[in-house]
Amino acid sequence: MAGKGVFLALEASCATRKDDVERARARWAIQAKSVAVNPRLARVPVLPVVIGKTITQDAREAARGRKIWSVIGDDRETTPEGR
């Protein structure tokens, strides 16, 4: 791979709920395993992300607790220490 890259395990929803956060985490786990077995891709990070117009409080807390990035409306919340 010539440059730096990243894979996104993305869940998009108009109204982001806790189950959307869980789906993003599940996608991340599957994608991370798939990338890890390919020697050419093993060093490319996979980031779980939820995107939506709104987010419920329990979904926000779940995303923070699981270190899942969120893009809600015009706001972005990231957890660089986690992934």
Structural element, H or E, at residue 8: strand 7-12
DSSP, collapsed to helix, strand or coil, labels residue 38 as: coil
Does residue 12 carry a pLDDT above 80?
A: yes
Q: Does residue 35 fall inside a structural domain?
A: yes
Does residue 13 carry a pLDDT above 90?
A: yes
Q: Does residue 12 fall inside a structural domain?
A: yes
- Please count the structural domains in the chain: 1
Q: Does residue 82 fall inside a structural domain?
A: no
What pLDDT score was predicted for residue 74? 83
Output the six-digit token pair for 12: 């998009």
Q: What rounded mean pLDDT belongs to the chain? A: 88
The residue segments making up the domain with residue 66 are 7-77
Q: Does residue 2 fall inside a structural domain?
A: no
Entry pTM: 0.82
Q: Does residue 67 fall inside a structural domain?
A: yes
Span 45-60, average pLDDT: 94
Lowest-confidence region among 17-26, 27-36, 68-77 = 68-77
Q: Does residue 83 fall inside a structural domain?
A: no
Q: Where are the beta strands (DSSP E) in 4-82?
A: 7-12, 15-16, 46-52, 54-55, 69-72, 75-77
